[in-house]
Chains A and B, each alone.
Chain A
Amino acid sequence: MSVSTGSRRVLEKGPSGWLAAPALFFFLLFAIIPLAGVFFLSFTKWDGLGEIKLDGLSSWTTVLTDPVTGNALWVTAKIMFFSFVVQAPISLLLGVFTSASQKYRAVLAVLYFVPLLLSSAAVAIAYKALLDPNFGLGPGLGVPFLAQDWLGNSDLVLFVVVFVIAWQFVPFHTLIYQGGVRQIPASLYEAAQIDGAGRVQQFFAITLPQLKYTIITSSTLMVVGSLAYFDLVFVLTGGGPGYSTRLLPLHMYLTGFKANDMGAASALGVILVAIGLVLALVLQRLGGKNRNASQLEGA
Chain B
Amino acid sequence: MVKLTLRSAAIAATAAAVSISLAACGSSGPAGSSASTGSATMWGLTGGNQPVLQKSVDAWNKAHPEEAIKLDFFANDAYKTKVRTAVGAGQGPTFIYGWGGGVLKSYVDAGQVADLSDFVKDNPDVKSRYLPSVLKNGTIDGKTYALPNNNVQPVVLYYNKEVFDKIGAQAPKTWDELMALVPKFKAAGVAPFSLGGQSKWPDLMWLEYLVERIGGPEVFANIAANKPGAWSDPAVKEALTKIQELVDAGGFINGFSSVAADSNADQALLYTGKAAMILQGGWIYQGLKKDAADFVSSGKLGYTTFPTVSGGKGDPANVVGNPSNFWSISSKATESQKKAALEYVKSGMFTDADTQALIDSGAVPVTTGIEAKLAASPDKDFLSYVYGMAKNAPNFTLSWDQALSPAQGDAMLANLDQIFLKKITPEQFVSTMNATIGK
Chain A positions within 8 Å of B, measured between CB atoms, are 27, 30-31, 34-35, 38, 47-51, 128-129, 131-135, 147-154, 220-221, 224-225, 227-228, 230, 237-243, 246, 249, 252-254, 257-261, 269, 272-273, 276-277, 280-281, 284-285, 289
Contacts and interface: CB of A to CB of B under 8 A. Distances in A.
21 contacts: A27-B17, A49-B109, A132-B265, A134-B255, A134-B265, A134-B268, A151-B198, A151-B258, A153-B257, A153-B258, A220-B15, A221-B15, A224-B19, A240-B257, A242-B423, A249-B19, A259-B411, A273-B20, A276-B12, A277-B16, A289-B4
Nearest to B85: A48
Nearest to A14: B3
Given A152-B197, A259-B411, A269-B23, A133 B255 contact: yes
B208 interface: no
B81 interface: yes
B106 A260 contact: yes
Given A150-B258, A241-B197, A257-B84, A50 B109 contact: yes
Contacts of A261: 407
B17 A31 contact: yes
Contacts of A131: 258
B11 interface: yes
A281 B406 contact: no
B110 interface: yes
A280 to B, nearest CB: 3
B206 to A, nearest CB: 16
A27 B16 CA distance: 11
A238 B84 contact: no
Contacts of B87: 49
A248 to B, nearest CB: 9
Interface string B292-325: 0000000000000000000000000000000000
Given A50-B110, A134-B253, A269-B23, A260 B407 contact: yes
A48 B84 contact: yes
Contact of A280 (B15, B411, B423): B15
B258 A133 contact: yes
A47 B258 CA distance: 31
Interface stretch (B55-63, B143-151, B231-239, B413-421): B413-421
Main secondary structure of the interface of A (DSSP, over half): loop
B107 interface: yes
B187 interface: no
B18 interface: yes
Given A228-B22, A230-B22, A241 B417 contact: yes
B254 interface: yes
Contacts of B132: none
Given A48-B84, A260-B407, A253 B16 contact: no
Interface residues of B, number: 57
B19 A273 contact: yes
A226 B359 CA distance: 49
B313 to A, nearest CB: 31
A258 B410 contact: yes
A131 B265 CA distance: 12
A277 B254 contact: no
Nearest to A246: B414
A249 B15 CA distance: 15
Interface in B256-271: 256-260, 263, 265, 268-269
A4 B138 CA distance: 74
B13 interface: yes
A262 B93 CA distance: 22
B274 A49 contact: no
B19 A47 contact: no
A258 B411 CA distance: 10
A30 B198 CA distance: 35
Given A131-B258, A134-B255, A276-B15, A254 B410 contact: yes
Nearest to B274: A134
Given A30-B21, A49-B84, A277-B13, 19 more contacts: A48-B84, A51-B110, A135-B268, A149-B255, A151-B258, A152-B255, A152-B258, A221-B15, A228-B18, A241-B198, A241-B257, A242-B418, A253-B25, A257-B81, A260-B406, A273-B19, A276-B18, A277-B16, A289-B4
Given A133-B254, A134-B274, A149-B255, A240 B200 contact: yes
Contacts of A148: 255
B417 A49 contact: no
A290 to B, nearest CB: 10
Nearest to A131: B258
Nearest to A160: B258
B388 interface: no
A269 B20 contact: yes
A257 B257 contact: no
Given A242-B423, A259-B411, A34 B259 contact: no
Nearest to B194: A134
B9 interface: yes
A135 B197 CA distance: 15
